Amino acid sequence: MIDIRGININIYNATDMNKSELDSLEDWFNSEFGYIEIEWAKPQWYLIMKYDNEIIGRIGIIKRRININSKNLEISGITGAIIKEQFRGKKLSKIMLQKATNFIKDKLKLKFALLLCRDEVVPIYKKCNWYIVKGPTLFEQTTGLKEYSKNTMVINLSNNIWPDGVINLKGLPW
Ligand SMILES: CC(C)(COP(=O)(O)OP(=O)(O)OC[C@H]1O[C@@H](n2cnc3c(N)ncnc32)[C@H](O)[C@@H]1OP(=O)(O)O)[C@@H](O)C(=O)NCCC(=O)NCCS
């Protein structure tokens, strides 16, 4: 049992974090997702969830001017949502996702957020009001422009409707 009062969540600008903090978050990401052969963008913000001073969750947040059907759209992205194994199944990711989208809406003042994910985790995001868009979604790698083969999900943070069409992330994916 965890006591929800011991949970604490903060969002930090990556430029205010020191190298060892950033390295340990990146190592954590790589140990969860290192098997995926994609070069990922580095987050500009990190949401950190602590329980009694121990880091138990993280989400990377990005702001990017992407293209949809060649038209610019400034959006946010979330990446590497992870809850420490022994804390999973306690609805903590739901709390983290809500905080992240509140930050994107209220502080970054953006109308959409986008994430890329594999099939297994789609239900988790659907429960938090994210939905799948058709794309296709293109992103840059050193070897050239690639198409993401799994799911692209977005969340509406205003009354605006996501414009359907080809999504070009205009850089490394997240
Ligand atoms: C994915 C992850 C962050 C979920 O964290 P969590 O705290 O265990 O999830 P929650 O307890 O908040 O669950 C949120 C909802 O999703 C559901 N859910 C959780 N895991 C699920 C799964 N594997 N499949 C389907 N639904 C799932 C829960 O039942 C809950 O729904 P409910 O409120 O209707 O019961 C965690 O399992 C994790 O860190 N996994 C490894 C990293 C990863 O794959 N991250 C996703 C990257 S895209």
What ranges do the domains of the chain cover? Answer: 4-168
Six token digits for residue 35: 């098997």
Is the whole-model pTM more than 0.85? yes
Is any atom of ligand 1 closer than 6 Å to the C-beta of 121? yes
Q: Which residue has the tokens 């809500």?
A: 98
Q: Tell me which of 25, 59, 61, 88 to substitute to probe ligand 1's pocket, judged by most ligand atoms within 8 Å of the beta carbon.
A: 88
Whether 155 shows a pLDDT value over 90: the answer reads yes
Q: Which residue has the tokens 């979330």?
A: 78
Distance 142 CA to ligand 1 centre (A): 32
Is any atom of ligand 1 closer than 6 Å to the C-beta of 85? no
pLDDT of residue 71: 96
Task: Please provide the CATH number assigned to the domain covering 4-168.
Answer: 3.40.630.30
pLDDT of residue 3: 87
pLDDT of residue 1: 78
Residue type, 31: S
Spatial CB neighbours of 115, under 8 Å, sequence gap ≥ 6: 77, 78, 79, 81, 125, 130, 152, 153, 154, 174
Q: Per-residue confidence at 2, pLDDT binned at 50, 70, 90? A: confident
